[in-house]
Structure 1
């Protein structure tokens, strides 16, 4: 695989690495839990819970790559862009833009019960 030099190149690659709907769904769960934990830390001032933000976010994502997508998480090669893309993917899902983004990235719609 060639080295990706810009985020503009990375985003389609990231979507292709998350081609299966179940993989994306588990990412959404992890990202939303991470957001809730972060908000809890901020509101309660319980800073010792801060590591749970990373654990909750990455646990579901990495599990889905191993069990569903069967590929290596992009986090290991492109950590910052991967983190940004987790939030971008959730945003696209919540705003109904995910289908269009997947299509632009060349990800075919998968007909499954997932």
Structure 2
């Protein structure tokens, strides 16, 4: 298995267990869920209203909640800095897994 500092993950399936490990704190995970759901709400509102400037809030909502979770509660550095694409994918898979009961909400 790859390590955080030296090896690169070659697949998302390989990365996801590491991603979950980096989100072991319940509050951190829940802040990710809030941010992800807020992102969906902002996108829906922008599309429905035609007020496209709201889309500028998407990164703030998504990353803002997640980074508070990491820096304040998880006490680690967000995986986004090292694995941006896999981390973005992980956010949505983790939310799906929580909503389907696969992992603790």
How does the TM-score come out when normalised to structure 1? 0.82
User: Of 90, 93, 104, which residue of structure 2 is paired with 1:85?
Assistant: 90
Matches within 5 A, 1:1-114: 1=5, 2-99=7-104
The alignment yields a C-alpha RMSD, in angstroms, of: 1.0
- Cα deviation for residue 14 of structure 1 reads 0.3
Q: Distance in 1 between matches of 2:11 and 2:99?
A: 25
Q: Distance in 1 between matches of 2:101 and 2:8?
A: 30
| Greater RCO, 1 or 2 (C-alpha within 8 Å, sep 6+) | 1
Q: Distance in 2 between matches of 1:52 and 1:7?
A: 27
- Cα deviation for residue 9 of structure 1 reads 1.1
- Cα deviation for residue 25 of structure 1 reads 0.7
Runs of 4+ in 1 over 4 A off after TM superposition: none
Q: Distance in 2 between matches of 1:51 and 1:13?
A: 30
